[in-house]
Amino acid sequence: MNAPSTAALADDKPGKDERGILVIEDSRTFAIALRQFLEAETGLPVTTCASLKDLSELIVAAPGAYAIAVVDLNLPDAPRGEALDWTVAHGIPTVVFTATFDLATRGRIMEREVIDYVLKDNEFALPNLVGTVKRALDNRNTRILVVDDTRTTRKVLARMLSIQQYVVVEAGSGAEALALLDAHPDLELVVSDYYMPDMDGFELARKIRRSHPNVRLIGISSSTDRKTSAGFLKAGAHDFVARPFVLEELQCRIASNVETLTQLKRLQELAARDYLTNLFNRRHFFEQGPALVETARQAGLPASIALLDIDHFKQLNDRHGHDGGDRVLDAVARNLSRLAEGGTNLLARVGGEEFAILFRGADLAEALRLSETIREEIAREALLLGGETLALTVSIGVTEIGASERLDASLGRADQALYTAKQAGRNRVCAAAQRS
């Protein structure tokens, strides 16, 4: 198959879904508890109803209004899962909640292509159900690459994943998979068959591990040779699933790998943040800054850097103690976050009372203008500390980054400009000329 275009992949990425959640449950007490849990955990509005009649009226009255449905399998006027048939027929992704369960019931549920089912058989049923709904909603932010040279087989697997609400991209060969991974860094998980004409699953796994170490890989195969699973894992895969699939096993293994990705992202985010101000830290600034500057250069755009220091911070810290100093840092950081964080800028706390801002797309004149606005806004906001109203001020040094200049060299020149601002009386912005 032909690789999807960049535009096509970008268009498939969902934004925030503001639709509601529909709960069909005949127990009023349980419906109220579930609504409260779901609204608290998802932030989405929850509509409840207790019968197939009410369900049909809601769906007809507001088609397309619901992002997901939670359906009790057995209702007084729908004892054989007719409510489930309604939600599925109207294209609403559905989680089934049932107290009645056996193999026949399981088959009846799963053949309707539901997201999952949760049993009403223990005290953890309610949190399990809420967790399942949250995972399904979160899955829409996860893009999975399915690699298989057999179109029919690939489509079946892609359909399974789509039911789970994942965004699925397909590749018909190892080479196509690698090209898609290179072009689209938001592909986070690969599910790959072993048998392919251009390279087998082991070779693909090794290449992915070398070039995309943060991507997780699940190998799949219909081979009866048990060494196939070991071969995948030795080659760098994180998991293995044998065909023919047990659907629940496939769901659980993929969900487990997605959860691991989420936990790793959280750890990386924590490692990149300053513990006090929650701004990015010095390490993150120097890890990400050079790439951002290079991106600007390739686009023919300028880039500038500002180094900011809180005036008389040592005296403030000595006078009001470390708690007072922390409040000063927090106040300045909140203002900086409001004024300079996000967009094309990179903001970080790079020292005790020092902050750095990388302005992508701003030449020296624009960076000076932006820095002057920041200085004025910080000076305008007073801080009440120890019964005393303090007027906080900052000094800022600014420079434009040269065409082939390293980020640390530019930061050094910004530091010189900052020193000039302090020597000139503080509470001002000074510039250092761009080095030729």
pLDDT in tens, 51-95: 999 999 999 999 899 999 999 988 999 988 899 999 999 999 999
Question: Does residue 129 form part of some domain?
Answer: yes
Same domain? For 259 and 297 the reply is no
Same domain? For 125 and 149 the reply is no
What's the average model confidence in pLDDT over 23-45?
Answer: 94
Q: pLDDT by residue (tens digit) across 120-150?
A: 877 888 999 999 999 999 999 999 999 999 9
Concatenating the DSSP letter of every residue in 229-292 gives HHHHHHHT-SEEEESSP-HHHHHHHHHHHHHHHHHHHHHHHHHHB-TTT-SEEHHHHHHHHHHH
Q: Which of 88, 107, 138 is the last residue of a domain?
A: 138
Q: What whole-number percentage of the chain has pLDDT above 90?
A: 75
Question: Does residue 207 form part of some domain?
Answer: yes
CA-CA distance, 378 to 241, in Å (whole number)? 56
Question: Does residue 22 form part of some domain?
Answer: yes
Question: Does residue 176 form part of some domain?
Answer: yes
pLDDT for 99 equals 82
Same domain? For 327 and 427 the reply is yes
Q: Which of 242, 271, 300 is the last residue of a domain?
A: 271
Same domain? For 309 and 425 the reply is yes
**What is the value of pTM for the model shown?**
0.73
Q: Which of 119, 138, 157 is the last residue of a domain?
A: 138
Same domain? For 418 and 294 the reply is yes
Domain count, the chain: 3
Question: Does residue 359 form part of some domain?
Answer: yes
| Structural domain containing residue 222 | 140-271
Question: Does residue 2 form part of some domain?
Answer: no
408 φ, ψ (degrees, to nearest 5): -65, -30
Write the CATH number for 205. Answer: 3.40.50.2300
Same domain? For 265 and 289 the reply is no
